[in-house]
Structure 1
Amino acid sequence: MADVEKGVASGSSPANEKKKLTKKKGKGKKKLTKKQKLAAAEETRKREELERETREREWMARADSECRAYERELRYQSEEKERREWEQEQIDKIETHVEQSKKEWHTRMNETSRWRKYIQGSQAINVHSESQINTWISVWIDQDNAALEETIQTCQEAEDIISELELLIEEHREGGEHEGDLLLLDRYRNNIYILRETQMMKIDRTTAVMIQKADEHASIKGEVLFQHQHSQIKYGLWVNVTKNPRIKRVDFSSIGLSTDVPKNLALTSVAIRMMHFAFDYLAHKSLSEYQAVGGILYMELLALPPPPKKVKGWTLRQITPLANNVSRLNYPPAVGIGVEVANMNGMTGAVGANLGWAPLRVVYALPSHVIIRDDVPVLGWWSKESNTWRTDGISEIEYDAPTKTIVFKTNHVTAIAVIIPRYFEFPISFWELKPLDRNEAVLTVTTASGRNVRIKVGEGYCRVFEPMELELYRLEQGKFTPIELLRALSSSGINILPDNNTAIQVKDHVTIKDPTLEKKLCKEISQMAGTFAFRWSRWNNMKEKRKIVFMAKEARESSHRQREGDTDEGWSHVLYQERSCTTVNTNEKSAKFSEDLVEGGKIHQHLYHCLQPANPYQPSIPSVAFTSTLQTLLLLLRLPSFSA
């Protein structure tokens, strides 16, 4: 109590005591001297100087690194420029040599072709010359009606010209983006149309003369029968001058065609003409999704002119329009007194529901090269109204495989053929090109139906390699141009030759590539096919039209290997574009496609240099006869576009 009172009396309190303690503590902190302040400032300056120097060194290091990187980039660009210029110089030399050699080779081939035609008795026509073709057609049209043998022979010569024009169309079709190419293609097609029409016109005029004077050719039994064959054309004509009801059948035995003659027809003034063209005579008109195989059979009824009269040793013939042309009749023909002559426009119609007129029973021996997939083939008749093949009105089809004989009944007298879906083999599911030798290679194409087509390519020729069916044996023995071989395969029933409508039919399954890019690739592959193998890649169809993906492999590693069990080992994936060609780091089993270059890979302008690093040997260009033939074959097939 005394202490408390003492504290109160002295005026002291806890708060005052705290202030005193604080003041005592503050008195313990010493102020910096001037010397100390100068030392601290110097230390700060040195630290800042060090930091500045460090920043400068880092900046200089970065600048030096960037400078070195820039210099490296300049050196790289310079080296790349030199490399590209060197590569281009090499390619220019190769192209110059190849083009010159190709020109000389084509000149030799044309001279050989003209000489072959000359010694065979055919007229040597330069199909590149519009004036020569026009002159040839004009002279042919103006010629008087010739004998049957001469007419058929000239029609075959016209067909040879058509085949050459079709080849030119196939060779030029990828250049259609240029106006000059379009005009040229139109000219070729127009010439084909004129030649086709002239063929039938000349056959009709010759037939008219034969019918007009049929009585002069009657046999002892009064039968008038003509039949003739030349190369790809068969012709048979029966003129019913006796109207004998006992005639049951007209048999053109030497050309493998025949038809039954119903009693009503045997009593009618008509002629029956049966012709077979080994080529697709109607291909240039067809809008159908079907195509003819084994050629075209023409079954026609023709009107007869008034019969001649014998007067005092003279034969009097009435001059009618039928003296120089034929009149095609419907089946059954319009029957009144004799036969009512149809219009001269040659229209062929379907049979009406006339009682007593049974369908015509026709026996037709198919060419030996035709492949029939099913037990019974599908037959179609040609509709002029729609320019398509139709199947109604043909019934009771029978087929004898050993003799390849078809028996059927028809209500239509017009063009008739075995037909198949035109795009049955599309899209292509796999392809591979392997060299056999420096100037020989084998192209394997697997179609949508699972059929393997193997084509051997040599110097100036193609042929079937190891035929799949006996029907193709002839294509193994001969030497054909690419278009000849592909058309022969198509005629046999294996169509792997795409046309303008193929892309429409398979658009949901393929990616149509840029034609210019595809054309460039075909050329470069053909130049490398002596040392490298090439193969389809599943990635190609997934890339847009300006990118093509395929596989390539050094030839010695891939020769004689089969597709079965083969792997990605040794194969490089090539990404091919308009101005670049690279090997990329991907394979067929990758989850997704990578456009990253392989280790050490570079971007090249030409396939030649793109593949060269993978090959320790300098690639050598095969002969121009081989490369030109292979290039044409690849251009016709367009494998990058029509492979799924």
Structure 2
Amino acid sequence: MPKTKKKSKKQLEDELQKAAEEQRRHEEKERLFKLEEDALAAHRERLEIELEGRNRVLEAERLEEEQEIVARMKGERKRCLDYEQSKLQEKIEWQKFVSCTSRPNVMFESEITTYVTMVREERSDRESMESAIEKCKAAEEVVGDLQELYCKACEEGDVIRQDWCMHYIAEIRELEIELIDAATAHLLLYIEKQEANTHLQVYLQWGNANDALKVGFWGHLQSKGFRAKSIEHSKIQIGLDLPKAIQLQSIGHCIGVRSLYTTFDSAQGKDPQMGIGGMIRVDLLSIPPFSKKVKGWTIRQVPAPGKELMKLPYPNTEHTTASTAIAAPCKIDYKVPAHVLVSKNPVVSWWDASLERWSTEGISEITWEEDTRKISFFTARLASFSITQERHIDLPYKHWNMRPCDDLTVELTVQANRYELRFMISEDGLRLKGPQLPELLDVMFEAGSGEAGGLSGPSGRRPRVRSPATLLNELRECGLNLMPKNADADQLEGYTPKHPETQARAYSDLSEIAAYYDIASSVHNKDLPAERALVRIRENELHEVFNPMDPDGDNDYQALMFFPDKCCFVQSREGISPCREAMAPGHVTHASLYLCFDKHPSPGPAHSEQLQRLEVTTSTVRFVEAVRPLPKGFCVEDVTISGTMTWNVFGDQACVLRCVRQKVAVARLNARDTCKRVHVLGPARGRAGQSTFLLSSRPV
């Protein structure tokens, strides 16, 4: 192989120079290409910004134009709803008037304050326990009216009214305790008149086992000590086991122990814990010195004002932890009402009034007897006790869905943490359909036969249909808190309350389609900002049953996103993460869900029918169907229709009047000639008060 000739220095320099020039040309080409790419990217970005700006302007103009339409539509519906509500309220007030009740009208603050003042002024120092209990029962009726008003204020988002109601509920219930304390003070002052046994002990009890307020009293009419004492108030089903240490810590006193049970507690809304099953207040009382007979006179020591009832602490160093630990415990047992849901391992707490908190310190050996519904526990102090649970124990909801199951009837299913709850929403009101638990039977059914809300119940009972406010309040008393507050979200990791305006927009718009569309929750909703809410909807005019959690049916649902002032269809899918918030092809934002259907480009063949179904408004909050009057300028002749007619004209085209429920064309109208007659094409059938008709924008 011949030897390669060695390159000269000049050849090497030429090759190096050529390579350097080639490198410079390549770098220049890359620089120019990058400049071109950057320019194109900047141009695209500028175009996107301009397009986004134009879209924002167009959206703002569109929303501004639509706001007037939506405001008129919503305002008309609200006026109709308010009118129906006013008629219902007038009926309630009339029934109250003819019943000759003396309860104040809780709508007016002046009547409540007058009632409280009168009860306090009429209170006597010699009032018996029976009289005090009757006054407490009357006061609880007023509290019931205030609770109903509170729940309605929650529905309407009236925070001021909510605080106002809670303030007076607390004041009236404080007044009830004052009445019982005054009656107890009178009892102690004249305790020697009560019948005592051979051991100089007095046993008294007022009420029955199932009463909302019941009182038991045991008194030891001598100051010397006693052995451990077991007290059983069998009539009211309250039991106490008192240790000998109680008398030793109250040397020099004749003592009494009062057990006061109420179905309400004094701590509502003040603590993340909530009491269920009522509150039992166990107080150690000092009995005043007995009267003396002197030369035919009876001399009785009268306590100074404000000291009529002396409560003794047990242990007497109540706030000392060490003393609490060595104090002999007392055993307390009482019956829990049959309607209260109690877990297998309940928690009993005592109310710390100084901190306004529930505490479990010093409570042990809690036993729950499900058969007898008795709960017993040992406590190292005497105080106010209750079964407690987290206020948010049923939160967050895992999922929920609504589906139409009959004409003007919707079923709402809520999967809470502990139970799956099903509600039936109809024009008559709201009823609980499930779960079928013994504790909830009185909430679900009432005495009577026949049907209520289109449903029948067990033999001798019928479904119990109530307003949402009443039913939700009853469920809360059962231990199911389905009225969460924003503060409850602080206890839940990863959850933020939605913006009030977004919620209001979603509730209002979704109620308009609930009669013909399935509505389901979305797993992506909790990950969205507070200003956005996401739900899924699917058409269900045949009232079929679908599983909204079935992944195979995900494509059957349309994702719908709500904002404080608009809504739109988006590309979100349950099985795809993260949430795809881009608008669905061919859709834009609108001021209401109704307009999202109405203004959709290139409507399909079922567009007219969609508009008709959207016109059927089923309110899921108030349950009152909005009735719209016939607009001026239209003359209807030769038409006899039993029911309510709703006329909506979109544009000035000739329109077809269709029956929403039977989907039968019944009349033809030329919208331009507003005084022409309506020519009937077919009969209009439907139940009176429920038929709704629509003038669709479909040209004839």
User: Does 1:303 find its partner at 2:275?
Assistant: no
2:260 corresponds to which of 262, 275, 291: 275
Please give the secondary structure, in 2, of the residue aligned with 1:568: helix
Q: CA deviation at 1:294?
A: 1.1
User: Does 1:387 find its partner at 2:387?
Assistant: no
1:203 corresponds to which of 140, 164, 180: 180
Counterpart residue number, 2:421 = 453
Moved more, 524-533 or 218-227: 218-227
Letter in 2 for 1:144: R
In the alignment, the residues of structure 2 paired with residue 125 and residue 602 of structure 1 have an alpha-carbon distance, to the nearest angstrom, of 52
The 5 Å alignment of 1:436-585 reads: 436-447=405-416, 449=417, 451-459=419-427, 461-477=429-445, 478-506=464-492, 508-556=493-541, 559-563=544-548, 565=550, 567-585=553-571
2:212 corresponds to which of 209, 232, 238: 232
Compare relative contact order (CA 8 Å, sep 6+) and give the higher one, 1 or 2: 1
Moved more, 310-319 or 114-123: 114-123
The 5 Å alignment of 1:28-427 reads: 89=69, 91=70, 94-115=73-94, 117=96, 122-145=101-124, 146-172=127-153, 184-218=161-195, 223-228=202-207, 232-241=212-221, 245=226, 248-263=229-244, 265=246, 269-284=254-269, 286-287=270-271, 289-311=272-294, 315-321=298-304, 325-332=308-315, 353=323, 358-374=328-344, 376-427=345-396
Q: CA deviation at 1:552?
A: 1.2
In the alignment, the residues of structure 2 paired with residue 558 and residue 397 of structure 1 have an alpha-carbon distance, to the nearest angstrom, of 49
Q: Deviations over 1:500-556 (max 9, x none)?
A: 4212212x3123221122123222223332222211112222222222111112233
User: Does 1:615 find its partner at 2:613?
Assistant: no
Residues 368, 471 of structure 1: 8 Å contact kept? yes
Counterpart residue number, 2:591 = 605
In the alignment, the residues of structure 1 paired with residue 563 and residue 325 of structure 2 have an alpha-carbon distance, to the nearest angstrom, of 68
Q: CA deviation at 1:170?
A: 4.9
Q: CA deviation at 1:351?
A: 8.8
- Rg larger in structure: 1
Please give the secondary structure, in 2, of the residue aligned with 1:101: helix
In the alignment, the residues of structure 2 paired with residue 115 and residue 206 of structure 1 have an alpha-carbon distance, to the nearest angstrom, of 36
Counterpart residue number, 1:434 = 403
In the alignment, the residues of structure 1 paired with residue 187 and residue 286 of structure 2 have an alpha-carbon distance, to the nearest angstrom, of 13
Please give the secondary structure, in 1, of the residue aligned with 2:410: strand
Q: 1:185 to 1:491 in 2, by over 3 A?
A: closer
Q: Deviations over 1:54-93 (max 9, x none)?
A: xxxxxxxxxxxxxxxxxxx9xxx89x96x9968954x556
Q: Any gaps of 5 or more consecutive residues in structure 1?
A: 1-72, 335-347, 632-644
Q: CA deviation at 1:429?
A: 1.8
Letter in 2 for 1:452: E
Residues 351, 411 of structure 1: 8 Å contact kept? no
Q: 1:256 to 1:523 in 2, by over 3 A?
A: farther
In the alignment, the residues of structure 1 paired with residue 132 and residue 424 of structure 2 have an alpha-carbon distance, to the nearest angstrom, of 37
Q: 1:110 to 1:99 in 2, by over 3 A?
A: same
In the alignment, the residues of structure 1 paired with residue 155 and residue 110 of structure 2 have an alpha-carbon distance, to the nearest angstrom, of 25
Please give the secondary structure, in 1, of the residue aligned with 2:74: helix
Q: CA deviation at 1:413?
A: 1.2
Letter in 1 for 2:236: I
TM-score (norm 2): 0.67
Residues 117, 123 of structure 1: 8 Å contact kept? no
Moved more, 314-323 or 376-385: 314-323
Residues 220, 256 of structure 2: 8 Å contact kept? yes
In the alignment, the residues of structure 1 paired with residue 99 and residue 231 of structure 2 have an alpha-carbon distance, to the nearest angstrom, of 34
Counterpart residue number, 1:637 = none
Q: CA deviation at 1:257?
A: 0.9
Please give the secondary structure, in 1, of the residue aligned with 2:395: coil
Please give the secondary structure, in 2, of the residue aligned with 1:255: coil
Q: CA RMSD in A?
A: 3.7
Residues 468, 621 of structure 2: 8 Å contact kept? no
In the alignment, the residues of structure 2 paired with residue 227 and residue 479 of structure 1 have an alpha-carbon distance, to the nearest angstrom, of 34
Q: 1:193 to 1:509 in 2, by over 3 A?
A: same
In the alignment, the residues of structure 2 paired with residue 252 and residue 97 of structure 1 have an alpha-carbon distance, to the nearest angstrom, of 60
TM-score (norm 1): 0.73
In the alignment, the residues of structure 2 paired with residue 403 and residue 503 of structure 1 have an alpha-carbon distance, to the nearest angstrom, of 36
Q: 1:183 to 1:530 in 2, by over 3 A?
A: closer
Q: 1:495 to 1:623 in 2, by over 3 A?
A: closer
Q: CA deviation at 1:142?
A: 0.8
In the alignment, the residues of structure 1 paired with residue 350 and residue 624 of structure 2 have an alpha-carbon distance, to the nearest angstrom, of 37
Moved more, 594-603 or 524-533: 594-603
Residues 401, 518 of structure 2: 8 Å contact kept? yes
In the alignment, the residues of structure 2 paired with residue 367 and residue 450 of structure 1 have an alpha-carbon distance, to the nearest angstrom, of 20
Q: CA deviation at 1:388?
A: 0.9
In the alignment, the residues of structure 1 paired with residue 87 and residue 389 of structure 2 have an alpha-carbon distance, to the nearest angstrom, of 39
Letter in 1 for 2:313: N
Counterpart residue number, 1:588 = 574
Q: 1:241 to 1:160 in 2, by over 3 A?
A: same
Q: Deviations over 1:157-202 (max 9, x none)?
A: 33343344445445446988xxxx6655554443333223222222
Q: Any gaps of 5 or more consecutive residues in structure 2?
A: 1-53, 446-463, 599-606, 626-700
Residues 514, 618 of structure 2: 8 Å contact kept? no
In the comparison of the two structures, how many residue pairs are matched?
532
> In percent, how many aligned pairs have the same letter?
24
Q: Deviations over 1:186-233 (max 9, x none)?
A: 544433332232222222112111222223232565634131259522
Letter in 2 for 1:470: P
Letter in 2 for 1:358: A
